[in-house]
Structure 1
Amino acid sequence: MKDYLKHHEWEIIEEGFDPHLNKISESVFSIGNGRMGQRANFEEEYSGDTLKGSYVAGVYYPDKTRVGWWKNGYPEYFAKVLNAPSWIGIHISVDGHKLDLAKCKVEDFKRVLDMRTGLLTRSFAATLSDGKKLRVLSKRFCSMANGEVGAIRYAFTPLNFSGKITLSLYVDADVVNKDSNYDEKFWEEVSKEASPGRALVVAQTKKTFFHVATAMKFQITTHGKIVTVDRINIEQREKFAGNVFQIDVEEGKETIIYKYAAVLSSENHPKEKIAAQANHVLDDAFAKGFDKLFDEHAKVWEHKWEECDITIEGDIAAQQGIRFNIFQLTQTYTGEDERLNIGPKGFTGEKYGGSTYWDTEAYCLPFYLGTSEQKVSRNLLVYRHKHLARAIENAQKLGFKDGAALYPMVTMNGEECHNEWEITFEEIHRNGAIAFAIFDYIRYTGDEDYLADHGLEVLIGISRFWAQRVNWSADKNKYVMLGVTGPNEYENNVNNNWYTNYIATWTLKYTQEAISLVKKKHGKRFEVIADVVRLKEKEETSKWADIVEKMYFPHDPKRDVYLQQDNFLDKELLRVSDLKQEDRPLNQKWSWDRILRSCFIKQADVLQGIYLFEDDFSIETIRKNFDFYEPMTVHESSLSPCVHVILASKLGYKAKAYELYLRTARLDLDDYNNDTEDGCHITSMAGTWMSVVKGFGGMKVKEGKLHFNPFMPDQWKSYSFRIEFRNRVIKVKVSNEGVTTKLESGEPLEIVLKDEAVMLS
């Protein structure tokens, strides 16, 4: 755990420059707008340890799968969101001495991310190797008002000299991914152009042939007057275009560079027109200027915060944590394009390839259901429906048939692209998460028509997979599920993972209910669906019902707890408190063999199922399982703490709930797992929102009604959150004086507050 960022309600603040923390800060201070994003790399040249990263949504490369021993069914490639062409570069040198913070004496360094407005600010004084000293103040944002525009205001002041400064402003597509095989570069030049004051590079990805046009244009001012540059040298080389020139500077006088960028993708523009359209977008941005662009951008953020802010009084660390998580989620996914989804690192890094995981359905969907208009969460589901044919192909590759669908563990286009056998072939619970998301969306929105429009086809495909994946055990006289990996990836290739078995049988049961509902309300549409998927209704539903009735669930009668898998009790049952501090995190200190043989749990597994289906279990059952499993859980998955917060809150374990809330809320800010330098944990950030709303607020939907059962953490004076629910907006505030609920918009609504009906009007 690191604690170097200052606590502030609305800002992330770093004071003083420590090169050893730079990559962590590059992740934490990242900015984006749903279409593109940028790590907090420096504009000027930096020769120190850095992970340079610019990213464009939907643009990826199918890197060849590398494994030691090929197995049938392996995906051919591992998809990666690419480090895209860089638009931020502003290099400075004085008499041949470069402004490079790895080689200069750096003083008064401060980096601030204003989450209210999505503005990244950095300031410092640097003494070059020859003693000349500069003060710099840079401001940068990716426009939320126009997802293809970025802007920089870069001001510098010579503190002890006058003379000439050499500037280089450019676009660079000659970039590389950190995890590329053999340091391969994934971009090829299509075209480039440069003229005084501007430059553009169009690059295409190998194999996938996405085109990205990155253009920049700049203006320089001193004391509000435009500086005319007499001579600009055009610098062009492969995948690079820019301007190099000198300007006169005076000691104590500030010079400001305004640099504007347009970043366009062939996902949204014809390839043959993309350069011209990039220049058009760029000229429009330039004409508006930095201040007007920022004002438009800030107004979007103002509206976003009105929708999704959570306020906490009396605990600045907790307040900063929740807002940081909401900020990153909001700038990563806007819901405007159903082709896009949410990568585990968003626009903050390259780990996990930037692809879509089950995290979206299990963790992110509830956040967007509660904070955005309905179409946003609906688009997340439509994304999976569009990939149903690929999910069926994925299942066919593994030997399944007759329309069985296995959604990928990792994907860009619906095709599986994850290359670890214990994940690709065995972590099949992801199928259940997608089925549950359909149920969760309909339960929350009341949009039962979604089943007829899209959902039923997906449910049938997933249920066919489960029906073929189980087998009958004559020994147990039950259906069993062999060779799987549950959410707890510290156990691989186990039999009868309780969570997987449970969500499989739930899916089979829910699909039968969905069939009945669509038949009743959309008879003709059902006939079309049944014909398209070739549903043998009586035969298939009878099989599903038999599996539901006869599924095996491992259970320990002595402790009266569900067992994570068949042989869990063969392990030495230790507690996390028995571990030495130097052994943590296990995944960085222990061998994989040792981890697999231990009882230690990476993330909620049995408890994941109890969280999703809590109404199926008594409070005593939840308590016994929580008390058994949580002490063995190391929470080395970012997805783990929030589930435990919600269950601990339900059980009245206030101290444990608060402890784990801080862990999820400040996971990246404090670098709990020693991996923030690879990027922030974007999808798990939705779990922070759930920790407050579903955990402390006790929010759930039951029989079409919102229920709240809130409590107040001892460390807080009050907290409040806002919920969008079925075309209404409800504000909930909890304090030591009690709970207040307010209907801010929409028709009157009855809610249930601490088991009592309350009419809001």
Structure 2
Amino acid sequence: MNQDYIKPDAWSIIEEGFDAKRVESSESLFSIGNGAMGQRANFEEQYSGDTFQGSYIAGVFYPDKTKVGWWKNGYPEYFAKVLNAPNWIGINVAINEEALDLNTCKEVKDFVRELNMKEGFHRRSFVAVMPNDLEVRVTATRFLSIVNDELGVINYEVEVLNADAVVKFTPYLDGGITNRDANWEERFWQTLEVNTENDQAFVVSKTLKTEYHVGTYMQSQISLDDEKLQVEGEVEKTEDQVSISYAVKVNRGERIALQKYAGYVTDMNHSKDSLVEAAKNVLDKATTSGFAKLLQEQKEAWAQIWEMADITIDGDVKAQQGIRFNIFQLNQTYLGKDERLNIGPKGFTGEKYGGSTYWDTEAYCIPFYMATKDQQVARNLLTYRYNHLEKAKENAQKLGFTNGAALYPMVTMNGEESHNEWEITFEEIHRNGAMVFAIYNYVRFTDDYSYVPEMGLEVMIAIARFWQQRANFSKDKNKYVILGVTGPNEYENNVNNNWYTNYLAKWCIEYCIENIEKIKANYAEDYARIMDKTNLESEEIAKWGEVAENMYFPYSEEFGVYLQQDGFLDKEIKPVSTLTKKQRPINQNWSWDRILRSCYIKQADVLQGFYFFEDHFSEENLKKHFDFYEPITVHESSLSPCVHSIQAAKLGRMEQAYTFYLRTSRLDLDDYNHEVKEGCHITSMAGTWMSIVEGFGGMRVVEGKLSFTPQLPEQWNSFSFKINFRNQILKINIGKNETTFSVDGNEPMTVLLNGEAIEVQNTIKS
């Protein structure tokens, strides 16, 4: 049974009514971020019920020692923990010396929580009857500024409804926090300094091992019915915490509020010894502006993001809410300003999976950022991988590879492999192919070839070297094979000749050779530099070509399909429809042994290859493979429904495509996999965007032009979106009877609609 308490709304995520069993799920769903930091939607006031506390800083991590039963050569030494950072949101509230705690209140009424996606803030309001019978109305508004990404702001209002009372606010900073998912129950932070100055407070901490230095800071202001008050604060300090309490006597019905300005400054952007000074600068600007002005700036900044990134859907509120939630979370997680950062699988919504980047970035996220922002943002993501190339070579060397071969990590923060499951770490090597595909996809979309001679070819060469060494010649098959791998379907481990992996290996080598020739012919200086740097000679390239030309692909003559791996037909093939509801999801109800022996597929595997290389196969071929593999796919990866939605749309199966779209867009909102309390699935949200743009919009790049084969789900009246293609912004509106194009500026743009070339001036209808 999926959850269904989120109210349908086009622009907001709304929860009505307080239910302690939903708190942790809502903490994920209502998370906020600004690309540099983020936090789960924990209550500001104390809460004694079950809660998952989490505040996170982009790029700051801890190398938690890997916990395994026994060590293997080449095993990653640590698992990269996304760190729960010092807590700055806390505001303890007491009324007549009784602590406000929704878990202990006699009654909680009119509870409403809203994540306003249009304007970028979180708001929570309720009426509570406290144990001392005081009845209070609370409204708390919070946002993380995307104008100044070191700043967070809270406005916390209290109104006592049935008596005069003393309201005491105690805003605090807490550096003594831990991670829920620590392997060894150790602390990851050391507090270096706790101090106050007037109404300002500071906690300076550093991470153990990695030694990131972070300044957490706060300053508060008090107002009564919107008039500022001067209230003497009472300071308390411990080794890890600092608080400043403000007590005010208020009359019944008066509204007392605390504005808290707080956040993080880090040594990624400031010197270690100037963090307090940097924090003071942020506070001076914030308090001078005040809450109302800062919130207005936030609304204007989000309006600019939505102007380009929005997808509008007419006639289907749940579908509209779903896509906007996905777009909102992607922009909260990564804005493309800093090439040192990337898109973590949980973003700022939880700690699960660790690491700041997976192959999800290259396979799913780059198209979204490429089309909805300046192409430089996508180039930054590619540069991130180039900057980690030497670490990727080290990762391969640890496994026995030589001659500058590179294996990009499954999970990483700094280029080192930090994933701690052997069947993923050692075997899920298809991630290497996603690195190269992202370069190809970027060049295809932007027509910016300069990345390839500057950086990209070096990446391709190192990966081609890996594939050539990873394959071995089978005398029995008279072909090159790749043994002992895990494909995208992680419900099979240690298999031979995963079709997707073999196909990627062949393609990567051929694409690398093609680009070597292109750069040799057109970029002589770069060619000489790269050949010298890599010590690449023609004999080695010839070896690669032999492997690619003679790669083995398992195939079933009986079914007329490529097989996911050599032994796939040894399994009993039974459709997912034969499973009972009690067995789903199987990853929570079956033993791992049973899953591995079953035919069930976690996510697109062979079909992932058909998605990447759609133009290599006929539509009839896609149909045959889709009909074979989709019925045995359980879609228990967040990355699965979007690929299947796009392919179902390609095959004209719009009802099925729409069902998959709803699943990907509302994966977290409806908690399909019963795990949203651990955090949201951020990287798959880019796949949701693709399922509309590439699925229903049918957008492709064909011979350097945007091409569309639009189809409208029966449930929709129309939908529209914008694409930034080669520095021209195209708006597409798809209705029941017509498709409309318009282009910004005076330059015309030629697009293909159902295969026919159309020149778009300002507005063109078909």
Residue aligning to 2:293: 292
C-alpha deviations, 1:534-568, integer Å up to 9, x for none? Answer: 111x1122112111211000011111011000000
Residue aligning to 2:146: 144
- Report whether the alignment pairs 1:208 with 2:210: yes
User: Which amino acid in structure 2 is aligned with residue 141 of structure 1?
Assistant: F
Residue aligning to 2:713: 713
Residue aligning to 2:456: 455
Residue aligning to 1:356: 357
Q: Distance in 1 between matches of 2:672 and 2:336?
A: 30
SS in 2 for 1:3: coil
SS in 1 for 2:438: helix
C-alpha deviations, 1:132-181, integer Å up to 9, x for none? Answer: 11100011100011100110111110011212122211111111111012
Q: Distance in 2 between matches of 1:473 and 1:129?
A: 76
Q: Distance in 2 between matches of 1:286 and 1:413?
A: 36
User: Which amino acid in structure 1 is aligned with residue 202 of structure 2?
Assistant: L
Q: Distance in 1 between matches of 2:99 and 2:387?
A: 51
Question: 2:375, 2:446 within 8 Å by CA — same for their partners in 1?
Answer: yes
Q: How does 1:191-230 map to 2 (within 5 A)?
A: 191-230=193-232
Residue aligning to 1:170: 172
User: Which amino acid in structure 1 is aligned with residue 662 of structure 2?
Assistant: L
Residue aligning to 2:190: 188
Q: How does 1:612-623 map to 2 (within 5 A)?
A: 612-623=612-623
SS in 1 for 2:404: coil
- Report whether the alignment pairs 1:559 with 2:559: yes
Q: How big is the shift at 1:245?
A: 3.4
- Report whether the alignment pairs 1:394 with 2:388: no
Q: Distance in 2 between matches of 1:466 and 1:9?
A: 47
Q: Distance in 2 between matches of 1:394 and 1:350?
A: 24
- Report whether the alignment pairs 1:595 with 2:592: no
Q: Distance in 2 between matches of 1:695 and 1:238?
A: 55
Q: How big is the shift at 1:354?
A: 4.1
TM-score w.r.t. the length of structure 2 is 0.98
Q: Distance in 2 between matches of 1:287 and 1:520?
A: 59
SS in 2 for 1:468: helix
Q: How does 1:268-307 map to 2 (within 5 A)?
A: 268-307=269-308
Question: 1:508, 1:545 within 8 Å by CA — same for their partners in 2?
Answer: yes
Segment of structure 1 superposing worse, 391-400 or 517-526: 517-526
Residue aligning to 2:747: 747
Q: Distance in 2 between matches of 1:518 and 1:80?
A: 40
Q: Distance in 2 between matches of 1:328 and 1:720?
A: 20
Q: Distance in 2 between matches of 1:307 and 1:33?
A: 17
Q: Distance in 1 between matches of 2:170 and 2:727?
A: 51
Question: 1:196, 1:243 within 8 Å by CA — same for their partners in 2?
Answer: no
- Report whether the alignment pairs 1:336 with 2:341: no
SS in 1 for 2:401: coil
C-alpha deviations, 1:365-417, integer Å up to 9, x for none? Answer: 01011101011000000000000000000000000000000000000000001
Q: How big is the shift at 1:95?
A: 3.3
Q: How does 1:297-696 map to 2 (within 5 A)?
A: 297-536=298-537, 538-696=538-696
Q: Distance in 2 between matches of 1:165 and 1:341?
A: 43
SS in 1 for 2:179: coil
- Report whether the alignment pairs 1:118 with 2:126: no
Question: 1:198, 1:242 within 8 Å by CA — same for their partners in 2?
Answer: no
Q: How big is the shift at 1:244?
A: 2.1
Q: How big is the shift at 1:746?
A: 6.3
Question: 1:80, 1:355 within 8 Å by CA — same for their partners in 2?
Answer: no
Aligned residue pair count: 759
User: Which amino acid in structure 1 is aligned with residue 544 of structure 2?
Assistant: W
Q: Distance in 2 between matches of 1:156 and 1:676?
A: 31
Q: How big is the shift at 1:224?
A: 2.6
User: Which amino acid in structure 2 is aligned with residue 270 of structure 1?
Assistant: S
Q: Distance in 2 between matches of 1:746 and 1:361?
A: 33
Segment of structure 1 superposing worse, 76-85 or 243-252: 243-252
Question: 1:132, 1:161 within 8 Å by CA — same for their partners in 2?
Answer: yes
TM-score w.r.t. the length of structure 1 is 0.99
Residue aligning to 2:756: 756
SS in 2 for 1:588: helix
Unaligned runs of 5+ in 2: 762-766
Q: Distance in 2 between matches of 1:336 and 1:517?
A: 31
Q: Distance in 1 between matches of 2:244 and 2:541?
A: 68
Q: Distance in 2 between matches of 1:197 and 1:156?
A: 21
Unaligned runs of 5+ in 1: none
Q: Distance in 2 between matches of 1:615 and 1:280?
A: 54
Question: 1:55, 1:83 within 8 Å by CA — same for their partners in 2?
Answer: yes
Question: 1:86, 1:171 within 8 Å by CA — same for their partners in 2?
Answer: yes
SS in 2 for 1:711: coil
SS in 2 for 1:302: helix
SS in 1 for 2:744: strand
Segment of structure 1 superposing worse, 721-730 or 288-297: 288-297
Question: 2:355, 2:412 within 8 Å by CA — same for their partners in 1?
Answer: no
Q: How big is the shift at 1:182?
A: 3.2
Question: 1:700, 1:708 within 8 Å by CA — same for their partners in 2?
Answer: yes
Residue aligning to 2:267: 266
Question: 2:110, 2:127 within 8 Å by CA — same for their partners in 1?
Answer: yes
Question: 1:730, 1:745 within 8 Å by CA — same for their partners in 2?
Answer: no
C-alpha deviations, 1:417-456, integer Å up to 9, x for none? Answer: 1111100000000000001000000000001111111100
User: Which amino acid in structure 2 is aligned with residue 121 of structure 1?
Assistant: R
Q: Distance in 1 between matches of 2:200 and 2:164?
A: 27
- Report whether the alignment pairs 1:88 with 2:89: yes
Residue aligning to 1:17: 18
Q: Distance in 1 between matches of 2:65 and 2:33?
A: 28
Q: How big is the shift at 1:196?
A: 4.1
User: Which amino acid in structure 2 is aligned with residue 584 of structure 1?
Assistant: R
C-alpha deviations, 1:178-214, integer Å up to 9, x for none? Answer: 1012322111111111244221101100001101111
Q: How big is the shift at 1:241?
A: 1.1
User: Which amino acid in structure 2 is aligned with residue 463 of structure 1?
Assistant: A
Q: Distance in 2 between matches of 1:354 and 1:708?
A: 36
Q: Distance in 2 between matches of 1:614 and 1:635?
A: 21
Q: Distance in 2 between matches of 1:76 and 1:224?
A: 54
Question: 1:36, 1:347 within 8 Å by CA — same for their partners in 2?
Answer: yes
Residue aligning to 2:248: 247
Q: How big is the shift at 1:226?
A: 1.8
SS in 2 for 1:745: coil
C-alpha deviations, 1:345-364, integer Å up to 9, x for none? Answer: 00111111142100000000
Q: Distance in 2 between matches of 1:181 and 1:740?
A: 54
Q: Distance in 2 between matches of 1:278 and 1:521?
A: 50
User: Which amino acid in structure 2 is aligned with residue 426 of structure 1?
Assistant: E
Q: Distance in 1 between matches of 2:469 and 2:56?
A: 40
SS in 1 for 2:10: coil
Segment of structure 1 superposing worse, 272-281 or 638-647: 272-281
SS in 1 for 2:380: helix
Question: 1:262, 1:279 within 8 Å by CA — same for their partners in 2?
Answer: no
Q: Percent identity?
A: 57
Q: How big is the shift at 1:303?
A: 0.5
C-alpha deviations, 1:56-95, integer Å up to 9, x for none? Answer: 1110000001100110110110011100111111111123
Q: Distance in 1 between matches of 2:392 and 2:747?
A: 40
Q: Distance in 1 between matches of 2:585 and 2:746?
A: 48
Question: 2:489, 2:602 within 8 Å by CA — same for their partners in 1?
Answer: yes
